[in-house]
Amino acid sequence: MRVGIIGIGNMGLAMALNLRERGVDVTVRDLRDGPERIARTAGATVAASPAELAAAVDVVITVVGTGAETREVLLGADGVATADGAGRVVIICSTIAPDDVIACAGHLARASWQTLDAPISGGPARARAGSMSMMLGGDPALIASLAPLLAMLGEPRFVIGPHPGDGAKAKLVNNLLAAVNLAAAGEAFALAERLGLDAKTVLDVVCASSGQSWIAADRIPRALAGDFAPRAHARILTKDIGLALDCARGVGQPATLGVAAQAVFARTCALGWAEEDDAAVLKACRQPDTT
């Protein structure tokens, strides 16, 4: 199976390197030379455009940042849909609005492409190891046919529903909760510091007690160490909160804590840390809010 990956940032590049290590024929496309050079060194082929990549592979995986970027690489003038998709598949791994997934799947179907909605979670280290979580929305027969590839990419894998868009909805529910937990952790550890406590000792307490959350246990240790190198940019989770809140408004579901978390992340970005790791919410919580 020949696999193409469009968007080789933190997650996409890790996925490409994982597949190459397992002997998969991989073609990549990105707007930046650096990640493409790394992928080429690992044995991947670099395509000049999404259309060129699509013509050379059996499965296209998109891991770009936004719905607009996903539409462009799939449906644009030089996009995947310009190639005949008969017998071939697009896997959308980006966290984007369910409506964007549904729209892309519809357009791709007109060019004979099948679409699997498969947002991912877990960070670059898990993507590199093939152990990231995957939330799958698509035809059960399609999912079954892709089982060997999906097994190389992620574990656990959750079949959310039979339609593209189902996976995106589940991912946004997850990311809303992750954002609320991380914003709360930033606030709690800023308070611990202001109270004169040793934050690392408090972290040990929290991780062994009822305040524990996966995202706090993952992010707060490096934040306390002053390590804000981006594994997941603050702007990305900020975007995801907005998408989740849009979904909530669309079905009339209150999301009071989500709105509060959105404000914390928006402030983190406004203070200049949008391109840092989302653990930078701790820095924002340390700053007095003068608004």
Residues that are catalytic: 171
90 and 214 assigned to the same domain: no
What CATH number does residue 86 fall under?
Answer: 3.40.50.720
Confidence (pLDDT) at 120 = 97
Q: Which two tokens stand for residue 134?
A: 């995957």
* Domain of 275, in residue numbers: 169-286
Q: What is the pLDDT of residues 69-120, one digit of tens each?
A: 999 999 999 999 999 999 999 999 999 999 999 999 999 999 999 999 999 9
Task: Determine, yes or no, domain membership for 291.
Answer: no
pLDDT at 140 over 70: yes
241 and 150 assigned to the same domain: no
Secondary structure of residue 157 in the 3-state scheme: strand
130 and 237 assigned to the same domain: no
Contact (Cβ atoms closer than 8 angstroms) between residue 20 and residue 76? no
Q: Rounded CA gap, 242 and 246, in Å?
A: 6
pLDDT at 290 over 70: no
Residue 183's contacts (CB-CB under 8 Å, 6 or more residues apart) are 260, 261, 264, 265, 281, 285
145 and 186 assigned to the same domain: no
DSSP string of 80-136, one letter each residue:
GGGS--TT-EEEE-S---HHHHHHHHHHHHHTT-EEEE--EES-HHHHHHT-EEEEE
Confidence (pLDDT) at 184 = 98
Q: At 82, phi and psi to the nearest 5?
A: -75, -15
Q: Which two tokens stand for residue 87?
A: 């017998």
Confidence (pLDDT) at 250 = 96
pLDDT at 219 over 70: yes
Sorting pLDDT into bands at 50, 70 and 90, what band is 288? Answer: confident
Domain count, the chain: 2
20 and 102 assigned to the same domain: yes
Q: How far is CA 283 from CA 165, 188, 208, 236, in A?
A: 35, 12, 24, 17
Please tell me the chain's helix, strand, coil percentages from 3-state DSSP, rounded to the nearest 5.
55, 15, 30
102 and 203 assigned to the same domain: no
Confidence (pLDDT) at 291 = 60
